[in-house]
Amino acid sequence: MANSKYEYVKDFEVEDNLMPHTWIVIRIDGRGFTKFSQAHRFQKPNDMDALLLMNAAAVTVVEDMADVVFAYGVSDEYSFVLRKTSTLYQRRASKLISVVCSLFASSYVMNWSKFFPNTTLQCAPAFDGRAVCYPSESILRDYLSWRQVDCHINNQYNTCFWNLVGSGKSTAEAQNILKGTTADVKNNILFDTFNINYNDLPQIFRKGSSIYRKKVERVVKVEDVSGREIKRLKSCVVVEHEDIIRESFWTNNPHILGGK
């Protein structure tokens, strides 16, 4: 930028570099997604295509930003974890948030027709974001566990609620029936009233979606004469629906937070 008498205006810019040597989590949430889901007639309590579209947008972010080592999503929210040593954009919060939100939103629009081929996009999706630093791996994992617990609690409630509404109850009646109920009571309502075993619901509904890089066997060549497939392990971005609260997930995938 050329020097000029107007350059002093840069002095008003606020430094927003995030704390070094901490895990950065960029969490985005759909803005006005209640109206957005109504406008596009998303199924309640879960719309599989809408969730898969969210995952596709999140994969775009993970593939584009090498410093994002893990992402977790549920409903209209996604959390992106940047490695502890990341210096991407000098760790500027405003830059990281704006890039993640814009990448996610643009991918959401670009992929819309793949998941909703018969539904015209009525309005532009928007996402707000925030950046939080977590100083240790244990606290970071507690954050991710919190999001997955929230996924279960909200999904169990919403599954009960919308089945009650679908059976003829008003929204107020459904709320009163579920008010103060425990998880066991909700499970009993689902099973006894609607013959739904909560544990049989798709894991994407109950566990959310986890995105990370993993070495997967891929065919790299097919021999001309024999037709034998030559396979190699290649690093790929995968979408899984696993229990990330359990120690076993992290034990089986030490490279995610270990950086190896």
> Which residues fall in the annotated binding site for Mg(2+)?
29-30, 76
d(CA 211, CA 70): 6
Instruction: Return binding residues.
Output: 29-30, 75-76
Enumerate residues 6+ apart whose C-beta is below 8 A from 154. 74, 75
Q: How many Cβ atoms are within 10 Å of 26's Cβ, its own excluded?
A: 25
Residue closest to 183 by CA, chosen among 148, 159, 209: 159
**Helix/strand/coil percent split, the chain, to 5:** 50, 20, 30
Residue 126, token pair as written in the block: 């928007």
- β-pairing, 77-82 with 68-74? antiparallel
- In DSSP notation, 151-187 reads HHHHHHHHHHHHHHHHTT--HHHHHHHHTT--HHHHH
Instruction: Return binding residues for GTP.
Output: 75-76
